[in-house]
């Protein structure tokens, strides 16, 4: 079908939010949708809600599977998708009514392979816009890839992007990756894209709930981040036009990971420190870091004790300047992830 958009929605135990969130998808101004909802082994009433919605709207395709994590669920959705275009949605978030129509219009207007937009972080007390400048950027795939590496303007999430299906279908992310998988997916997608268009309009809403099932510095998450950082230089080893930026991103991410491990003061995470430091030491000279990061990388590679002291001073300075606010934490999370 012409202009059919497949929307892939993984769901795990979202009974409290699912129906309201999905209404923002069902009510889109672009009506030609294939809404693939993957129930990833939910133990609450999510499966019943999905089946009820599917019975009421024939655009919904319900898939029920054993729990395997968000990456496993998205892989199943990609395999089932039949649309010319593919996008992703989290089952407790919200999309503006014209989101998919707008992304598709831009994609076709600029003959792009990926069309994406800005977003809103909805906190319990306020909404924070990233960044609602209205800026429109048309780039080739590598330029878009560099933006994904930088994380300064463009969100690495899969949920703010509309892809042509030819790019998405060949991509398979190992289900072992349950954190940072959005970034890895987009590395592969933007690498394949010939052209992408970004318009900084906040069309997608990330809803921060009072309770979250994720643990920011869990061992699995830290290990996922370390593994993906180590993959980047290997993946782009034969692409000199990308390799320096890939190494820079990897080293910067490993420095942030080292910070997370040190701050967590977890005996479980401590054994990961030598692996992180070894990577930083081996790659810091190949990265195009600014002076601050060069200094941090040098100290991290040569003296863990001195690096811990430096991190203590940085953290203390932030507290003294009263910059470690709730909103700053989310900005940090966005740019580092």
In terms of DSSP H, where are the helices of the chain?
18-26, 46-56, 70-80, 99-109, 141-150, 165-168, 181-192, 219-235, 243-264, 273-283, 291-302, 304-320, 326-336
Q: What is the DSSP letter of 107?
A: H
Residue owning tokens 């692409």:
239
Question: With the C-alpha atoms ordered 149, 247, 233, 236, is the resulting torsion angle positive or negative?
Answer: positive
pLDDT tens track for 258-279: 999 999 999 999 999 999 999 9
Q: Do 149 and 229 share a domain, yes or no?
A: no
Q: Do 178 and 267 share a domain, yes or no?
A: no
Q: Do 268 and 317 share a domain, yes or no?
A: yes
Q: Do 171 and 304 share a domain, yes or no?
A: no
Domain that holds residue 313: 219-336
Specify the pLDDT at position 319.
77
Residue 181 domain-assigned?
yes
Residue 212 domain-assigned?
no
Segments of the chain with pLDDT less than 50: 212-215, 324-337
Q: Do 138 and 23 share a domain, yes or no?
A: yes
- Interatomic CA distance for residues 333 and 133, integer angstroms: 21
Q: Do 168 and 273 share a domain, yes or no?
A: no
Q: Do 236 and 203 share a domain, yes or no?
A: no
List the CATH number of the domain containing 136.
3.90.550.10
How many domains does the chain fold into? 2
Q: Which residues make Cβ contacts (< 8 Å) with residue 278, sequence separation at least 6? A: none
Residue 134 domain-assigned?
yes
Question: Helix 291-302 to helix 243-264 angle, to the nearest 10 degrees?
Answer: 60
b (16+ CB within 10 A) / e for 105-114: ebbeebebbb
Query: Nearest-CA neighbor of 224 among 215, 237, 213, 236?
Result: 215
Specify the pLDDT at position 208.
87
Q: Do 130 and 185 share a domain, yes or no?
A: yes
- Interatomic CA distance for residues 210 and 109, integer angstroms: 40
Residue 84 domain-assigned?
yes
Specify the pLDDT at position 18.
96
- Interatomic CA distance for residues 190 and 163, integer angstroms: 10
- Interatomic CA distance for residues 336 and 252, integer angstroms: 8
Residue 214 domain-assigned?
no
Strand partners, 6: 34, 86
At residue 109, the 3 state secondary structure works out as helix
């Amino acid at each position: 079908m012409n202009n059919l958009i497949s929307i892939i929605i993984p769901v795990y135990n979202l009974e409290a939010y699912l129906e309201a969130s999905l209404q923002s998808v069902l009510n889109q101004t672009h009506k030609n949708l294939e809404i693939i909802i993957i129930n990833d082994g939910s133990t609450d009433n999510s499966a019943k809600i999905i089946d009820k919605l599917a019975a009421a709207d024939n655009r919904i395709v319900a898939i029920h599977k054993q729990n395997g994590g968000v990456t496993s669920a998205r892989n199943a959705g990609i395999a089932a998708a039949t649309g010319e275009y593919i996008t992703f949605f989290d089952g407790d978030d919200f999309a503006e009514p014209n989101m998919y129509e707008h992304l598709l219009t831009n994609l076709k207007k600029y003959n792009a392979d990926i069309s994406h937009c800005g977003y809103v972080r909805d906190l319990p007390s306020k909404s924070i816009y990233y960044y609602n400048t209205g800026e429109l950027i048309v780039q080739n795939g590598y330029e878009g890839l560099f933006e994904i590496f930088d994380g300064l303007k463009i969100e690495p999430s899969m949920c703010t992007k509309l892809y042509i299906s030819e790019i998405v279908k060949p991509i398979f992310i190992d289900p072992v990756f349950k954190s940072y998988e959005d970034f890895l997916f987009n590395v592969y997608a933007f690498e394949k894209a010939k052209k992408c268009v970004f318009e900084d309009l906040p069309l997608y809403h990330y809803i921060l709930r009072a309770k979250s099932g994720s643990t920011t510095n869990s061992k699995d998450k830290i290990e996922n981040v370390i593994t993906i950082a180590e993959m980047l230089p290997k993946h782009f080893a034969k692409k000199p036009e990308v390799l320096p930026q890939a190494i820079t991103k990897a080293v910067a991410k490993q420095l942030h990971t080292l910070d997370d491990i040190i701050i967590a003061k977890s005996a479980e995470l401590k054994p990961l420190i030598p692996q992180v430091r070894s990577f930083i030491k081996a790659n810091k000279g190949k990265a195009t870091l600014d002076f601050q990061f060069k200094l941090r990388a040098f100290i991290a590679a040569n003296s863990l004790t001195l690096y811990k002291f430096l991190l203590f001073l940085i953290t203390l300075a932030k507290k003294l300047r009263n910059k470690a606010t709730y909103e700053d934490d989310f900005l940090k999370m966005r740019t580092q992830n």
